[in-house]
Structure 1
Amino acid sequence: MSGIRVALVDDQALFRAGVRMLVESQPDLTVTGEAGDGVAAVELAARARPDVMLMDVRMPLLDGIAATERILADADRDGRTPPRVLVLTTFDLDENAARAIRAGASGFVLKDADPEFLLAAIRTVHQGNQVIAAAATR
């Protein structure tokens, strides 16, 4: 059975570990790799070819929005199917939701979202739909 391949990108190792445990608890989801900064995220996308990338906004070397733009442009240039990018942040009143969507992200979720909401968001963006956390649009 092939499931949804998920890549985790966040500069906080403990957060990645928690999300990894959550994702891998699901029979239809598999973690294909992790990155701790935006530059490593671009390399991970090309190497692991995930279906969905969970992308932190604020990271060293290259932020999540710039990394998203680069990942999608690289996939387009190389003729690959681009991953769906689900942007994660702790900042609910910040303009990053709109910036992420303009960059090509498929969704925007707050890091304090309910675990079931995050899992549903992964599946939703994988199906080609967008997810925007309501608190992020205030």
Structure 2
Amino acid sequence: GEEGRPATERLRRRHRPPEIIVLTTFDTDEHVVRALRAGASGFLLKDTPPEQISQAVRAVAAGNPMLSPGVTRRLMQRVASGAETYEQARGRLAVLTPRERDVVLAIAHGRSNAEIAGELLMSVTTVKAHVSHILTKLDLDNRTQIALLAHDGRLL
């Protein structure tokens, strides 16, 4: 589940990181994308037959990413409909002020509130207020979603 992502991130930060295959019951697009962004090399559903799991382990060990066919198909559809996603993301981001856009860009680059304050010459309190307004305006729950929207809108 969701608890697998921090483990994946921690393992991938090791000196000689292992390849990781996420075995899960959740196959929502967002879950797959998060796992891949965290550094997973494979993504399989728990009902995958054992011989396909061992095939995936061999493929990933050889340096080839492995996604279950259903996941691959959906990701391909997501990429194929990317132009619409891009337009939608740009439309949503258009409601932001130029200063809020600067904060969104900094968040998308993984900056902390303190780093953003230093870069944009504002107080941490002001940064927090901007983040709060951004979440409300864009109807989002957290910084990761802000970063994903910035990525979808190609702000990076």
TM-score w.r.t. the length of structure 2 is 0.44
TM-score w.r.t. the length of structure 1 is 0.49
Which structure is richer in relative contact order (CA contacts within 8 A, separation 6 or more)? 1
Whichever structure has more strand as a proportion of its residues is 1
Whichever structure has more helix as a proportion of its residues is 2
